[in-house]
Amino acid sequence: EAGVTQSPTHLIKTRGQQATLRCSPISGHTSVYWYQQALGLGLQFLLWYDEGEERNRGNFPPRFSGRQFPNYSSELNVNALELEDSALYLCASSSLGQSAYNSPLHFGNGTRLTVT
């Protein structure tokens, strides 16, 4: 099966601009999670979407937003970029309705966002 795909692989923006990151989950997965992995830090939970709805949100400012489309793909938008937004943004998908044992998170390779 095709894995979770993210685009673009790399993204370079200047401070104050907007960035849009995209994620396609594994076929059949309805749930998409976004994480930020800054250098030297672990994974910080950003957003969780399921069935087109935002289900949970991490401790990030409102300029981090996103959406999930009817085909379950997802978009993460970061407005008014700041230097500290430079990080690897990881998307993961899972299939709710199954036990976690059968459906853990499946991650994409991430988008490396650099803000200059």
Partner 1 sequence: GNSVTQMEGPVTLSEEAFLTINCTYTATGYPSLFWYVQYPGEGLQLLLKATKADDKGSNKGFEATYRKETTSFHLEKGSVQVSDSAVYFCALLLSGTYKYIFGTGTRLKVLA
**For partner 1, which is the closer residue by CB, 14 or 109?**
109
SS3 assignment, position 115: strand
Minimum distance from residue 15 beta carbon to partner 1 (Å): 26
**For partner 1, which is the closer residue by CB, 50 or 85?**
50
CA distance 47 to 56: 6
Give the footprint of partner 1 on this chain (CB under 8 A). Answer: 4, 6, 31, 33, 35, 41-43, 45, 48, 50, 55-56, 90, 92, 94, 96, 99-101, 104-110
CA distance 13 to 57: 24
**For partner 1, which is the closer residue by CB, 79 or 86?**
86
Minimum distance from residue 96 beta carbon to partner 1 (Å): 6
For residue 4, count other CB atoms closer than 10 A to its CB: 21
Minimum distance from residue 21 beta carbon to partner 1 (Å): 13
Q: Return the closest-CA partner of residue 111 out of 88, 82, 84.
A: 88
Minimum distance from residue 109 beta carbon to partner 1 (Å): 5
